[in-house]
A and B are shown apart, each in its own frame.
Chain A
Amino acid sequence: MTPAIPELEQIRDRFQRAVADVTSLDALRAVRNRFLNRTDGEATLAVKMIASRPADEKRAFGAAANALKKEIEDALAAREAALAAAAPATGAVDITLPGRVPLLGRRHPLTQVRERIEDIFVAMGYSVIEGPELEDDWHNFEALNMPPEHPARDMQDTLYLDARLPADARGRQASLLRTHTSGMQIRYMEAQAPPVRIIAPGRVYRRDNFDATHTPMFTQVEGLVVDEGISLGDLKGTLNAFAARFFDAAVKTRFRPSFFPYTEPSAELDVECQGCAGKGCALCKHTGWIEVLGCGMVHPAVFEAVGYDAERYTGFAFGVGIERLALRLYGIDDIRMFYENDLRFLEQLAP
């Protein structure tokens, strides 16, 4: 190692003291000027002194002087960067202030549940169809194996229209608010030959009291599958698949025999209550099960009403009440909340 050169060591000391005191870019500029000025900077002069050194020292002195100058340049650059980083940026903002969020509405919970159901069935190859809420007696009742005076008409207390609306080509005149979406089965089968694989969502109406569990208007999704060889096993497989997608893959289901005039055999699908894992709680009325939907094999009388060959074709149908599922999904206990449109409720939903 070359021995230290006292003149250069003194410059280094002075520089280090000077740079240590620097707190601003202006002061740094002065230090740069003092040591690196082209004409009389201390380090510049040291380099210029190389020529005046004795011949045998020139080489070592030259290397040391240039190294010192480089060291000072680097130290100044580092110091400048540090000062710049510490200085406030021009145009700085308070990044902790709230952002300007674009206004965003949310789809109504009944829409979200309905679309969730639609998406599941569309993935299984169903078409989504819509139909009239003002319905005639034929489509709402008679073609669904509910002739006049059929006791099952009592199951659905009907709201009637107080007006005479124009009749359709077959002389059928809308006279009531549909009590279920099942009429869409008839409308679709009248228009299309099998195979059929549809769901029909929509509003339905009953002359029901308005309370925590009943509303005079609610929302259903009707489903219908018709083809050769459709069995009750297919109904079970399809609705189990639906329940697994809608709730979760591990949900337990059961089918209970029931009665609907337009299906035979008829059944209801229950899923195990998720509130109590089937042990029984207030939510499931201590049964451990929650009713999800009504379903069954299409009654041959329905096929006969629409002109389908009831020997060749079989099918299944189901009807889901959206409000009931939505109550469970969102963990609320009053159906009226869906119709109040309280923003404090709606704004809690995912967009």
Chain B
Amino acid sequence: MKAPVSWLQTFVPVPASPAEVATRFGACGFAVESIEGDVIDLEITANRPDCLSIYGLAREAAAAFNLDLAAPPGTAAAVSGSTAPIKVSLGDAGCGRYALAVADVKVGPSPAWLADRLAAAGVRPINNIVDVTNYVMLELGQPMHAFDAARLAGPEIYVRRARLRETLTTLDGVARTLDETMLVIADRERAVAIAGVMGGAASEVSASTTRIALESAWFLPSTVRATSRRLGLKTEASARFERGADINAPVAALLRALQLFADIGAGTASGGVTDLYPRPVASRSVPLRRARLARLLGDEVPDTEVERMLGRLGFVVTSTDLGWTAVVPSFRVDVAREADLIEEVGRHWGLDRIPATFPALRAMPRPSDAGVARSRLIRRLLCGAGLQEAVTFTFMSGDAAGPFAAADDRLDIKNPLSEKFAVLRPSIVPGLVESLVYNRNRQAADVRLFEVGGVFSQARGERTAVGWVLTGSRGEHWSGSAGPLTFADTRGIADLIASTAGVAIDVAPGEDLPWLARGQRARLVDPTGVEVGWIGRLSIPALDGDAVFAGEVDLGALGGFSTAPRRIAALARHPSIVRDLSILVSERLPAADVRGTIRANAPPTLVDVREFDRYQGKGVPDGQVSVSVRLTFRAPDRTLTDAEAQQAVEAIVAALRTRHDAVLRGATGRISAE
């Protein structure tokens, strides 16, 4: 709301310095957008439609500066009779009050003082009639509309709901299709204005207009708001009506306009003022308790100050035993209960005067949600593992989401800003891929990203997951490269997360994960077979064949992350015996099968099986692989003998031979060839 200080001064003698006035407005709740010359642009919060007017702001200034506010501007217009010569029919609760006057006018330009004031307040002058309606709206906050009376089909006005698919071309030249939820002003035949929003082009005041019907009404905020939203049409009038206009303003505003017409020689009233106000609204009385005021603010405001500030703001305050009762003026649609009055006192007393205190902690705080510590731990863990944390949007395009979710399980946004933000992410990985590609396009060869956040589906709703993408090398160094990243690296991240959670996970075939490359994809399952995530090499077009490994773990499904200390197993007191075995097996034989055969045929003294080399090439027949495993034997209660280990290894070798046609290439210790 643009407020010229000189205009404010017509109602309250504020200082001439716009900066000084602006500072005071800022301190009582009106943020200052800008100051240009004499004009202060103030942000009016949605609860204060009364301050979408110069007089309303003057009232605030009167309270802020403790100055007297002049009476509302002249309403002594000459009218004759009690009604206007146009009949108004009001039959809809969407209009609480409808006032109308008729005036014979001479359309022309406005005098300079009026046009200048409008321009300063940011409104383009049009002609003296329209300008006066705009002037009164800015001055008093009451929107008005002037119809060319000659363009109405007869001397009648109806306030009614629009008919389904009724059309009206509004002042902005747009043909609009209406429906029964919308309130219109109509003549005998058709709608001539959308109530509280915009008038129609056909009845617009023009240079040839000689008689006008001047409307000043009160429309139900929810009706105007719904209509404005449905039509996508916001106007100065709709902004005021939907926040709540003053139901007692229409007649005064009409008289003010008629007086201005007279003052500038634009026209004179014909007949009286029609005022239809079927259900008068009683004023509210709100109690304000002295003790409650002090308790909520944390400050003692002297009684005289309370009464002075509320009085200046237009409340009629009377003392009671416990404090006061305030009669709320009809323009203060935001004040309904005690807390609202306390805010008024606080605002004008000055928030900065209230002493800062510190609330006492009277009980042990409840623990934070477990997910908070879990996310913190995972973030630190993965940063320590060399992955960079990313934050990507929770929504993505349907194309990017495509491979990661079945079409009927996608959670779409009904009113997305663009196709790019149309689907809630089914997985964290597509967003990370976008960031990975962004970095690859900026010459980053090695990119390792992760993110912790929500993933969404219709069937499973909202879940928390951690996802990651890895590409490039394991780290280049002058002393030698650690080589390119492989499937083992993404598996390692999954294993790291699971072991931190304290949950054993295993892999299962991932043949139905279409975003991953054949032969390099796996589901992650917990010991009960519940799926907790996936890992693999990505196979999506955006990557253009780059080797990018990725994974995702559903943290809810994974579980674990208990904050209870883990029990520590007693440390082994007897030495272990380590044996290495190298065998030739088919390259298609999974390592898990070899491990399984070893464990199934070993005594309980076998405590660890670990692959430490896989080799294909010279000396290894085609289709085979040389696998080296390290076996660790240990007994909890005694020192194991070499012979015992020997016996165990021989049994293992025999089983590998039988089960997998394994050929022994070598071993530490003695292994008989047969």
Chain A residues in the interface with B (C-beta under 8 A): 97-98, 100, 102-108, 110-111, 115, 118, 122, 124-130, 132-134, 149, 151-152, 154-155, 159-163, 165-166, 174, 177, 192, 195, 197, 203, 205, 207-210, 215-217, 225, 227, 229-234, 236-238, 240-241, 254-259, 261, 264-268, 287, 297, 299-300, 314, 338-344, 346-347, 351
Contact = CB atoms under 8 A, between A and B. Distances in A.
A284 to B, nearest CB: 12
B296 A231 contact: yes
B567 interface: no
A105 B359 contact: no
13 contacts: A104-B384, A111-B391, A130-B371, A132-B462, A133-B394, A155-B46, A177-B413, A195-B362, A203-B454, A265-B343, A265-B351, A341-B392, A343-B447
B339 A264 contact: yes
A264 B363 CA distance: 26
B394 A233 contact: no
A107 B29 contact: no
Given A105-B383, A162-B414, A233-B355, A297 B296 contact: yes
B359 A227 contact: yes
Among all A-B residue pairs, the 7 with the closest Cβ atoms:
A103-B386, A233-B298, A231-B298, A257-B29, A259-B45, A265-B343, A341-B435
A194 B358 CA distance: 18
Given A105-B448, A236-B357, A265-B347, A115 B376 contact: yes
Interface of B: 26-29, 31-32, 45-48, 221-222, 225-226, 242-243, 295-299, 337-340, 342-343, 346-347, 351-352, 354-359, 361-363, 365-369, 371-372, 376, 379-380, 382-395, 411-417, 421, 424, 435, 438-439, 442, 444, 447-450, 453-454, 456, 458, 461-462, 475, 477-479
Contact of A130 (B48, B299, B369): B369
- Among B243, B365, B475, max chain A CB count under 10 A is at B365
A265 B339 contact: yes
B461 A165 contact: yes
Contacts of B340: 264
A241 B358 CA distance: 9
A149 B367 contact: no
B357 A231 contact: yes
Contacts of A207: 415, 417
A89 B452 CA distance: 50
A133 B31 CA distance: 31
Given A100-B477, A258-B31, 12 more contacts: A128-B372, A129-B368, A132-B462, A161-B424, A177-B424, A207-B415, A216-B417, A217-B395, A229-B295, A236-B356, A238-B359, A259-B47
A263 B554 CA distance: 37
Nearest to B337: A300
B383 A104 contact: yes
Contacts of A160: 413-415
B391 A233 contact: no
Given A105-B386, A133-B462, A125 B394 contact: no
Contact of A230 (B27, B45, B359, B479): B359
Contacts of A203: 394, 453-454
B354 A233 contact: yes
Contacts of B31: 256, 258, 268
Contacts of B415: 159-160, 207
A254 B462 CA distance: 39
Nearest to B225: A149
B438 A342 contact: yes
Contacts of B45: 258-259
Contacts of A268: 31
Contacts of A163: 411-412, 458
B368 A122 contact: yes
Contact of B342 (A162, A195, A259, A264): A264
A162 B412 contact: yes
Nearest to A132: B462
B388 A231 contact: no
Contacts of B477: 98, 100
Given A195-B363, A216-B395, A256-B26, A106 B388 contact: yes
Contact of B393 (A133, A216, A258, A261): A216
